[in-house]
Structure 1
Amino acid sequence: MTTARRTTMTMTTEGHDHDQLRRRTTDLIFDVIAGTVVHLAPVSAELVAGLWVATFTTLLEHGLKGIAAEN
């Protein structure tokens, strides 16, 4: 999926079939993971450590509320 196509997606499910939404959600999750790891390693010059992985996994599974609940 191209960046231009991604930016024109609507936030509602109206007019989209379930499979199309599932594919787009999968693409978005991959983009979030890839973008975060790319930023962490070469941009921040940090290693991917156990605590970082645990915190990021909680963020993906439960969103920002899950991170707040852990602290």
Structure 2
Amino acid sequence: MYPRQKIFTMGSNAIAGELDFDTAVRDPSDPVQIDRGYDYRDGLHFNDSGYLAMAWAVDLEILRRP
């Protein structure tokens, strides 16, 4: 996450939480790139597998009401 956005999200009371999709879809050998298996071949957008990886990264427990 870029430092400016991280400061905003971590320091804001307007946001109840965050989901870290970066860890789910980044290339382990080059963390600033999308994993080739999740890339739509443009280095910017996700393919179906990328969106599925993002969905599986969500812990559904955090969406439950207290």
TM-score scaled to structure 2, two decimals?
0.30
Structure with the greater alpha carbon radius of gyration: 1
Larger strand percent: 2
Larger helix percent: 1
TM-score scaled to structure 1, two decimals?
0.29
Between 1 and 2, higher relative CO (CA 8 Å, sep ≥ 6) is seen in 2
